[in-house]
Amino acid sequence: MPEHAVLVVEDDCALREALCDTLMVAGYEVRPAADGATALNVLEREAVDLVVSDVQMQPMDGHALLGLIRARQPNLPVILMTAYGSIRQAVDVMRAGATEYLVKPFEARALVELIERYSHCSSAGDSLLAVDPRSRELKQLAQRLAQTETSVLLTGESGTGKEVYARFLHQQSRRASGPFVPINCAAIPETMLEALLFGFEKGAFTGAQVAHAGKFEQAQGGTLLLDEISELPQNLQSKLLRVLQEREVERLGSTRTIALDVRVVAATNRTLRTLVGEGRFREDLYYRLSVFPLEIPPLRDRTGDIWPLFEHSLRRHCAGSRALPAVTDAARVALCAHRWPGNVRELDNLAQRALVLLHGDVIGPEQLHFETGSNATPAIAPAAADESRLGEALRSRESRLILQALAKGRGSRKSAAETLGISPRTLRHKLSQMRAAGIAIPED
């Protein structure tokens, strides 16, 4: 059951009680407010994960409340409810910073599904966005790992967000008040990497004019991220293993050891087990680093994250410089149908390009300039992949085909069913499953 707090702002007493009852039955903690001023007081006293507010209220309407919330908590999801739905109004509320809007009257299920999608986007003190069911499961596992001192090896394709997960592990741990120190083992020349990792004393080598603390010392009481650990030179692998085993480090040019209180998290986009078999990575170091391996799935396998991540990128790049544009249903379909070989990094680049190409206040498919050839189908997964991952890949592929058929038919369910060669009833069932997974579906 959900364990998120939702602030419901509605001046109609009967409707407010009905909304609160609906959300409590769904398992949410509810904070009711009869007007904007009360809502702001609640936000000052308590932490909430999402706000649902009516637009037509007195003396402070929903738009004014939204502006004040955005000024105080810019990342808090806000859903506005209105009895007057139009494209112009949708554009206005999205530009003002609303996460979504609902047109009254609406079914209770529609509200619960929308809150389920966005309540996972902004927990207090939480920088990890996870909307797709697979991402939510991974986030819950990461939260449990954060409470331990277990060594974690983050794996996954380039751009999937391994450093974001490493920071989340740090933020959710007892070390959150300590430093988070990342170092990219592939970006530093081998001759400098040892000195940067372990530190050095004055005169340890030519150019060492002053003593310098290494990354391990800088991370005392906190977390050290060894990114691209697969690129660590073999002569340093044995030294790193000793530091991890002994929990102490010795600077270059020194005979004094320094006791360490550091949690080490490693990350790589390569398969370390394969490198071990090839003799390019120490097996004992591999087992020391991967006490608990955590694989971050590619964006194409967690389609429920695509739209929230794109919106997050737009907000970040618009902050303080321009109004947030609205995004059409056709553009959302195109986003979810894309293969994303560059993962979240590619998505962020696309958001920046869309803002550059924008001539107005609405992003449509024509503003989405995907990289040439980036929709190519990726290599087939190894035969050793388990059945659950195969099932997830097939469901992801099915969702993309359905979205492409809807885009081709401009949202027509009848046309999409004919294109796919399935019955309208089967299509409705599959669309319901996709909505439950957090995938945006265009209106008919």
Indicate whether 308 and 398 sit together in one domain: yes
Indicate whether 291 and 308 sit together in one domain: no
Task: Identify the pLDDT of residue 412.
Answer: 85
Task: Identify the pLDDT of residue 96.
Answer: 58
| Strand stretches in 228-379, DSSP E | 248-250, 257-259, 263-268, 292-295, 326-327, 362-363
pLDDT digits (tens, 9 = 90+) for 153-194: 999 999 999 999 999 999 889 998 899 999 999 888 887 898
Contact status, residue 240 vs residue 214, Cβ threshold 8 Å: no
Indicate whether 167 and 288 sit together in one domain: yes
Last residue of a domain, one of 263, 295, 327: 295
Residues 195 and 191: their CA atoms lie apart, in Å, by 8
Indicate whether 90 and 162 sit together in one domain: no
pLDDT digits (tens, 9 = 90+) for 81-129: 887 654 455 555 555 566 677 888 888 888 887 787 666 554 444 568 8
Task: Identify the pLDDT of residue 111.
Answer: 86
* Total-model pTM: 0.63
Indicate whether 105 and 252 sit together in one domain: no
What is 164-226 written as a DSSP string?
HHHHHHHHTSTTTTS-EEEEETTSS-HHHHHHHHH-B-TTSSTT--S-B--HHHHTTTSEEEE
Indicate whether 149 and 196 sit together in one domain: yes
Last residue of a domain, one of 295, 316, 348: 295
Residues 160 and 299: their CA atoms lie apart, in Å, by 7
In the chain, the number of structural domains is 3
Indicate whether 110 and 235 sit together in one domain: no
For tokens 């003190």, what's the residue? 125
Omega within 30 of 0 (cis) for the link into 59? yes
pLDDT by residue for the chain (444 residues), tens digit each? 345 789 999 999 989 999 998 888 888 889 999 999 999 998 888 878 889 999 889 889 888 898 888 777 766 788 888 876 544 555 555 555 666 778 888 888 888 877 876 665 544 445 688 888 899 899 989 989 999 999 999 999 999 999 999 999 998 899 988 999 999 998 888 878 988 899 998 888 877 788 888 899 999 999 999 999 999 999 999 999 999 999 999 999 988 999 999 999 999 999 999 999 999 999 999 999 999 999 999 999 998 899 889 988 898 888 767 788 888 888 888 898 899 999 999 999 999 999 998 888 899 999 999 876 544 333 333 333 344 444 555 666 777 788 888 877 778 888 888 888 788 888 887 887 787 766 777 776
Name the residue range of residue 11's domain.
1-124
Q: Which amino acid is at 304?
A: G
Indicate whether 230 and 338 sit together in one domain: no
Indicate whether 278 and 138 sit together in one domain: yes
CATH number at residue 201: 3.40.50.300
